[in-house]
């Protein structure tokens, strides 16, 4: 059973144990990605590209579910609990991508490719580490919400990074899979813009983001 822990007059439940099935899946994916990063056989540009595309796909899906749930809540609200898992997998994929770029592959990106990619990596990693109730309790919901809204800025920079990284000698070229992933990123940004322009009210609790059935951490 979860216990209610008071903090600044706010009662929030602390789960007595972690969701083991979900945690096991995360751990398995994490170790597979590490294996791919360290394995001499798999440490090649193709595997690195897979990590990058995975990161963009998982992160976009996490954001897209949130935006679409504003228009079609009956259809997308049941998917909200998966947003944390998708965000975590996206962050882990990004870690594997960055590690492979600098260690096994020995590349040395520079200029706007480095700047855009570095900002995206740091911000999404920070968001993954703070996508929990403990972070909301410590920061307060309003500050936590403002910080996580920066994720859309990071997603835009991810698209910029994508385009810059795939521009070789002034020529921008994508294969069908890369085109599909970039399209998903753009659709996610457009969905968020549409939700904003439609005037949908801002979410007022942590649970509204992730669809938890536990008691909400209310806005201070």
Q: Could you give the number of structural domains in the chain?
A: 1
Residue 145 resides in a domain: yes
pLDDT at 20 over 60: no
Residue 48 resides in a domain: yes
**Long-range CB contact pairs, 89-92, < 8 A, 24+:** 89/26, 89/29, 89/54, 89/58, 90/54, 90/55, 90/56, 90/57, 90/58, 90/59, 90/62, 90/124, 90/128, 91/55, 91/59, 91/124, 91/125, 91/127, 91/128, 91/129, 92/26, 92/29, 92/30, 92/33
Residue 160 sits in which domain range? Answer: 19-210
Q: What is the pLDDT of residues 93-127, one digit of tens each?
A: 898 888 878 776 667 777 888 888 889 999 998 99
Residue 133 resides in a domain: yes
Residue 175 resides in a domain: yes
Can you tell me the mean pLDDT for 174-186? Answer: 94
Is residue 15 very low, low, confident or very high in pLDDT (cuts 50, 70, 90)?
very low
Kindly report the average pLDDT of the chain as a whole number.
Answer: 79
Q: What is the pLDDT of residues 28-51, one digit of tens each?
A: 666 666 666 666 655 578 778 888
Q: What pTM did the predictor assign? A: 0.76
Residue 10 resides in a domain: no
Residue 148 resides in a domain: yes
Residue 163 resides in a domain: yes
Tell me, what's the pLDDT at 47? 78
């Amino acid at each position: 059973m979860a216990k209610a822990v008071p903090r600044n007059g706010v009662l929030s439940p602390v789960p007595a144990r972690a969701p083991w099935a979900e945690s096991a899946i995360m751990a398995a994916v994490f170790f597979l990605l590490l294996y791919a990063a360290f394995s001499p056989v798999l440490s090649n540009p193709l595997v690195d590209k897979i990590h990058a595309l995975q990161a963009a796909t998982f992160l976009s899906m996490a954001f897209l579910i949130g935006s679409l749930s504003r228009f079609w809540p009956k259809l997308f609200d049941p998917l909200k609990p998966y947003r944390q898992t998708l965000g975590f997998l996206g962050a882990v994929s990004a870690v594997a991508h960055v590690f492979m770029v600098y260690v096994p592959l020995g590349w040395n990106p520079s200029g706007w490719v480095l700047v855009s990619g570095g900002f995206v990596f740091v911000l999404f990693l920070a968001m993954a580490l703070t996508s929990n109730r403990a972070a909301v309790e410590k920061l307060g919901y309003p500050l936590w919400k403002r910080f996580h809204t920066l994720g859309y800025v990071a997603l835009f920079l991810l698209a910029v990074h994508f385009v810059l990284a795939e521009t070789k000698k002034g020529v921008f070229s994508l294969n069908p899979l890369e085109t599909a992933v970039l399209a998903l990123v753009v659709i996610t940004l457009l969905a968020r813009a549409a939700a904003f322009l439609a005037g949908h009210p801002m979410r007022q609790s942590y649970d509204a983001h992730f669809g938890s059935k536990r008691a909400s951490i209310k806005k201070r």
